[in-house]
Amino acid sequence: MPEPSANERTVSQAGTLFVVATPIGNLDDLSPRAARVLGEVDLLAVEDTRITRRLSERAGPLPRMVVLNEHSEQARVGELVAGLLAGGSLALVSDAGTPLISDPGFRLVQAAHEAGIAVSPVPGPCAAIAALSAAGLPSDRFHFEGFLPPRQAARRRRLQALAGLSETLLFYAPARDLPAVLDDMVAVFGGQRLATLGRELTKRHETLWQLPLAELAARVGTDANQQLGEAVLVVAGSPEARSPIALDALVKALAAELPPSRAAKVLAGLSHLDRREAFALIESARKPGPA
Ligand code: SAM
């Protein structure tokens, strides 16, 4: 049950670090509580003052801001913690969404805990959770990966490491990187794996498509508009890991029961393998093993 009086209590509390989620595109998603906290604290720690200033349209006049980004965080933490210990209240916000989720703030929150400072979240938008909630893929367990490495070799290695996970996978990417990222996903996860693209979520040109990876890669690759803005990729977990039947056992059973090309077709449909890879496995299972 929501507790209306709790908001009043926490907002006025001195010496508290508030971790405040802000919209990922649509200003209407700034919660009334977030707006109130932003207006009432003594100081804001922000990534970019120009971006946070836009929130004053909904939150009213904002207090003084200090920049806390990946370059300045280390140096700023000491003075911010000192201000909190002296009784000042501070709100941490990032450019969009929830601080610390592929965004700065971890060192500050960690230091606040170490100093015995009260830390209070003001929850709200998060692109990964918004995409997952609408993706139509299993959400009981998921793995948040965030951004993949920019270079292809490192990116493929990271994808290889994730290929066997049964959990739904969540990735962040600027939309301009989607063609390269999707090509790598097709190469590593196989083109049949289901994925949902959430692009420009909550904005005017929102995309939410659920397709097998190969089809998603083809559609995005041929539509320049889909390469603009911000994107989340939600990718189904490994079908093998979810399946109670091990791939090995399935290959043996199909090879024993069906002609090779038919067995390969069924195997490709039930796994991440393409038809050629499935055929090679079926063929090797048909060869008599050492006596
Ligand atoms: N902390 C943020 C959050 O809670 O979502 C994420 C910050 S991270 C630096 C930025 C990435 O989030 C973008 O590159 C994109 O992958 C994703 N993102 C942010 N806004 C989005 C939106 N409106 N639609 C889709 N993805 C978005």
The verdict on the CB of residue 201 being under 6 Å from ligand 1 is: yes
The verdict on the CB of residue 181 being under 6 Å from ligand 1 is: no
State residue 272's pLDDT score. 67
Q: How confident is the model at residue 96 (pLDDT cuts 50, 70, 90)?
A: very high
Do 281 and 219 lie in one domain? The reply is no
Listed residues 106, 125, 144: the one ending a domain: 125
The verdict on the CB of residue 281 being under 6 Å from ligand 1 is: no
Q: Is residue 181 part of a domain?
A: yes
Q: How far apart are CA 158 and CA 173, in angstroms?
A: 14
Do 67 and 173 lie in one domain? The reply is no
| Neighbour order of strands in the sheet with 194-199 | 142-147, 168-174, 230-235, 194-199, 207-212
Q: How confident is the model at residue 219 (pLDDT cuts 50, 70, 90)?
A: very high
The verdict on the CB of residue 268 being under 6 Å from ligand 1 is: no
What are the beta bridge partners of residue 195? 211, 235
Q: How far apart are CA 139 and CA 132, in angstroms?
A: 7
Strand intervals (E) in the chain: 16-20, 43-46, 64-67, 90-92, 118-122, 142-147, 168-174, 194-199, 207-212, 230-235
Do 223 and 252 lie in one domain? The reply is no
State residue 180's pLDDT score. 98
Examine the pLDDT at 218 and tell me if it is beyond 60: yes
Do 14 and 115 lie in one domain? The reply is yes
State residue 60's pLDDT score. 95
- The domain that contains 156 carries what CATH number? 3.30.950.10
Distance from Cα 59 to the centre of ligand 1, integer Å: 22
Distance from Cα 95 to the centre of ligand 1, integer Å: 9
Q: Is residue 173 part of a domain?
A: yes
The verdict on the CB of residue 24 being under 6 Å from ligand 1 is: yes
Q: How confident is the model at residue 190 (pLDDT cuts 50, 70, 90)?
A: very high
State residue 27's pLDDT score. 97
For the chain, the helix, strand and coil percentages under 3-state DSSP, each to the nearest 5? 45, 20, 35
Structure tokens at 34: 């977030």
Structure tokens at 67: 């920049």
Does the model's pTM come out above 0.95? no
Phi and psi at 255, nearest 5°, equal: -65, -35
Do 222 and 197 lie in one domain? The reply is yes
Tell which wins on pLDDT, 283 or 217: 217
- The domain that contains 63 carries what CATH number? 3.40.1010.10
Distance from Cα 129 to the centre of ligand 1, integer Å: 10
Instruction: Give first-to-last CA distance, the chain, whole Å.
Output: 68
* DSSP state letter for 147: E
State residue 243's pLDDT score. 55
State residue 217's pLDDT score. 98
Q: Return all residues near 72 (Cβ < 8 A) that are at least 6 apart.
A: none
Examine the pLDDT at 125 and tell me if it is beyond 50: yes
Phi and psi at 173, nearest 5°, equal: -160, 140
Percent of the chain residues topping a pLDDT of 70: 92
State residue 93's pLDDT score. 98
State residue 9's pLDDT score. 45
Structure tokens at 170: 């969540």
Q: How confident is the model at residue 135 (pLDDT cuts 50, 70, 90)?
A: very high
Do 260 and 193 lie in one domain? The reply is no
Q: How confident is the model at residue 7 (pLDDT cuts 50, 70, 90)?
A: very low
| Structural domain range at position 194 | 128-235
Do 117 and 29 lie in one domain? The reply is yes
* DSSP state letter for 137: S
Do 66 and 175 lie in one domain? The reply is no
* DSSP state letter for 247: H
- Average pLDDT estimate for 255-277: 83
The verdict on the CB of residue 145 being under 6 Å from ligand 1 is: no
Smallest CA-to-CA distance from 280 within 269, 270, 268 is with: 268
Do 13 and 116 lie in one domain? The reply is yes
Q: Is residue 1 part of a domain?
A: no
Q: What is the residue-averaged pLDDT of the chain? A: 92
- Average pLDDT estimate for 36-55: 97
Give the chain's domain count.
3
Examine the pLDDT at 246 and tell me if it is beyond 80: no
Listed residues 125, 141, 161: the one ending a domain: 125
Q: How far apart are CA 107 and CA 73, in angstroms?
A: 7
Range with the poorest average pLDDT among 29-38, 173-182, 281-290: 281-290
Examine the pLDDT at 8 and tell me if it is beyond 80: no
State residue 13's pLDDT score. 67
